[in-house]
Amino acid sequence: MARATISDARKKDTREKIELGGLIVKAGLRYEKRALLLGALVELSSRLKADEAERARLLAIGAEAFGDDGE
């Protein structure tokens, strides 16, 4: 039973990572260097913590790119 739970958790984690990678592709960043992508995400994380207006602005851009609410 514990094995099944661990396996399910690993599958869920793997699926989430695949979906997040898909966002990089959808944003047109597939061929950028990993260090650049990580740097951009670290910077974004910092900005989002400090600026709710920026969070709302970027959420709107993302929702438009998805064609829906982005969920």
pLDDT tens for 19-49 read: 999 999 999 999 999 999 999 999 999 999 9
SS3 28: coil
Number of domains in the chain: 2
Whether the full predicted model's pTM is greater than 0.85, yes or no, is no
> Residue 6 — pLDDT band, cuts 50, 70, 90?
confident
My answer on whether 71 and 37 are in the same domain is yes
Are 26 and 65 in contact by the 8 Å Cβ rule? The answer is yes
End-to-end C-alpha distance for the chain, whole angstroms = 32
DSSP 67: T
Per the structure, the complete domain to which residue 23 belongs is given by: 1-30
Tokens of 68: 């829906």
My answer on whether 43 and 23 are in the same domain is no
My answer on whether 70 and 39 are in the same domain is yes
Are 26 and 20 in contact by the 8 Å Cβ rule? The answer is no
pLDDT at 16: 96
pLDDT at 34: 96
pLDDT, averaged across the chain: 91
What CA–CA distance (Å, rounded) separates 63 from 56?
10
